[in-house]
């Protein structure tokens, strides 16, 4: 809807602009001869109706999001960029209709604008800063920078102003295509420069919250923390970790914190919330659509199994469990199975399959040092 709404509005106003231009050309008696008056009347009506419909359509989603959010409040400046983008799309569509020769180009314009914005938002680095329809999605704990939002609002205002100017000029003439005046040329240069400005120096689309609010608890010497907006996931993250600690039999000294990546300065890079490298923390990716228990189990099991010490990542294709990496992989799979988590693609037999949960924990406790150092071998297998 984020992309379709402004593009659809642009196509709709294209038809309105085309109808206005046709009426002007054929000198309909009801049409005022002043092109600027025509443009103001039509654009005002179109912007109020279409932008109002856009806001009404989004209202239930916004209200339900606010009601269900565990933390935070609406970011009004960011919401305003969506409205400004709609106004810009309406003005551009109207101008395109005024300048074109036939309304049959409306569907082509719709397809081209839709594809153009989509490609620009995803493929052209920096250009998506000028489009209030981002191809990137922020996560909890991140906000759109104030400078970016101000730029987007200014860019949309310039687009609306330029489109209105060109529409008014075209409606005052019997021929729409003429050599542009110095003023029109200057406006076009300013418009292009404004849109291309972020391409030369792409800005950051998201930044960390200034003060990250955390919800924490401690159990058995391990600290569990999530962003305040994920507080409902804290108990599940803690319980999942405690099950894995129990079935692994491993109590590695380096596992002191299990935190959500929403509290990291560089999510997934291993940095703590204060920016210091901290290998004692396991980072959990609690993103919308992800299962908290599964994400927690995978990340914690990777640490407890020794896969991180081996510099390896889980893989369902490993079948040789006689070396350090293979043994860690087998222990990783066995922990997940024993803790009650699906194989998630690890449909392989391991040397641990015949062990009970208690036996697996006993084996892990005896080989804790070798696990931490990725030193397991064939003789260590049960």
Which is more confidently placed, 101 or 324?
A: 324
Which is more confidently placed, 31 or 149?
A: 149
Query: Is residue 15 scored above 60 in pLDDT?
Result: no
| DSSP states of 44-71 | HHHHHHHHHHHHHHHHHHHHHHHHH-SS
**Whole-number Å distance between alpha carbons of 38 and 97:** 14
Q: How far apart are the first and last CA of the chain?
A: 56
**Whole-number Å distance between alpha carbons of 11 and 202:** 29
Between the alpha carbon of residue 196 and those of residues 124, 131, 190, 192, the distances in Å are 11, 11, 10, 6
Name 224's bridge partners. Answer: 217, 258
Task: Return all residues near 11 (Cβ < 8 A) that are at least 6 apart.
Answer: 93, 106, 107, 109, 110, 113
Which is more confidently placed, 68 or 20?
A: 68
In the structure encoding, which two tokens stand for residue 367, read together? 């080989």
Between the alpha carbon of residue 162 and those of residues 169, 184, 186, 324, the distances in Å are 11, 8, 10, 66
The length of the chain, given as a count of residues: 382
Whose structure tokens read 């369902």? 316
Least confident range from 35-49, 69-83, 239-253: namely: 35-49
Task: Return all residues near 360 (Cβ < 8 A) that are at least 6 apart.
Answer: 247, 248, 249, 334, 335, 338, 352
Which is more confidently placed, 80 or 109?
A: 80
Least confident range from 45-59, 200-214, 229-243, 256-270: namely: 256-270
Which is more confidently placed, 99 or 148?
A: 148
**Whole-number Å distance between alpha carbons of 159 and 137:** 25
What pLDDT is recorded for position 234? 92
Query: Is residue 262 scored above 80 in pLDDT?
Result: yes
Task: Give 96-105 pLDDT, tens digit per residue.
Answer: 777 776 666 6
User: pLDDT class for 2, splitting at 50, 70, 90?
Assistant: low
Q: What is the pTM of this model?
A: 0.70
356 SS3 class? coil
94 within 8 A of 17, measured Cβ to Cβ? yes
Q: What is the mean pLDDT of the chain?
A: 77
């Amino acid at each position: 809807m984020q992309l379709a709404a402004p593009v659809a509005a642009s196509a709709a106003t294209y038809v309105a602009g085309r109808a206005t231009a046709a009426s002007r050309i054929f000198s309909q008696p009801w049409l005022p001869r002043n092109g600027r008056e025509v443009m103001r009347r039509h654009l005002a009506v179109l912007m109020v109706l279409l932008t109002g419909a856009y806001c009404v359509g989004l209202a239930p989603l916004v209200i339900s999001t606010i009601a269900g959010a565990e933390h935070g409040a609406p970011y009004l400046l960011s919401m305003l960029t969506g409205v400004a983008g709609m106004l810009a799309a309406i003005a551009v569509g109207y101008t395109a209709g005024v300048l074109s020769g036939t309304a049959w180009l409306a569907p082509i314009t719709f397809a081209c604008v839709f594809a153009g914005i989509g490609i620009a938002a995803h493929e052209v680095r920096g250009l998506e800063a000028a489009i209030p329809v981002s191809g990137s999605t922020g996560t909890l704990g991140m906000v759109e920078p104030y400078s970016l939002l101000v730029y987007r609002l200014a860019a949309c205002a310039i687009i609306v102003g330029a489109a209105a100017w060109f529409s008014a000029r075209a409606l005052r003439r019997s021929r729409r295509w003429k050599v542009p005046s110095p003023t029109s040329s200057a406006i076009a240069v300013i418009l292009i420069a404004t849109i291309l400005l972020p391409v030369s120096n792409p800005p950051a689309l998201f930044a960390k919250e200034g003060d990250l609010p955390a919800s924490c608890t401690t159990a058995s010497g391990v600290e569990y923390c999530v962003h305040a907006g994920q507080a409902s996931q804290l108990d599940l993250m803690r319980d999942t970790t405690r099950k894995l600690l129990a079935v692994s039999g491993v109590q590695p000294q380096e596992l002191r914190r299990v935190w959500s990546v929403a509290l990291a300065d560089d999510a997934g890079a291993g940095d703590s919330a204060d920016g210091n490298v901290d290998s004692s923390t396991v980072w959990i990716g609690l993103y919308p659509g992800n299962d908290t228990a599964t994400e927690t189990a995978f990340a914690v099991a990777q640490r407890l199994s020794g896969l991180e010490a081996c510099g390896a990542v889980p893989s369902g294709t490993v079948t040789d469990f006689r070396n350090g990496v293979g043994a860690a992989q087998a222990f990783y799979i066995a922990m997940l199975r024993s803790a009650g988590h699906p194989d998630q693609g690890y449909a392989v037999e391991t040397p641990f399959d015949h062990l009970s949960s208690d036996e697996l924990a006993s084996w892990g406790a005896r080989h804790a040092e070798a696990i931490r150092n990725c030193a397991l071998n064939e003789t260590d297998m049960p």
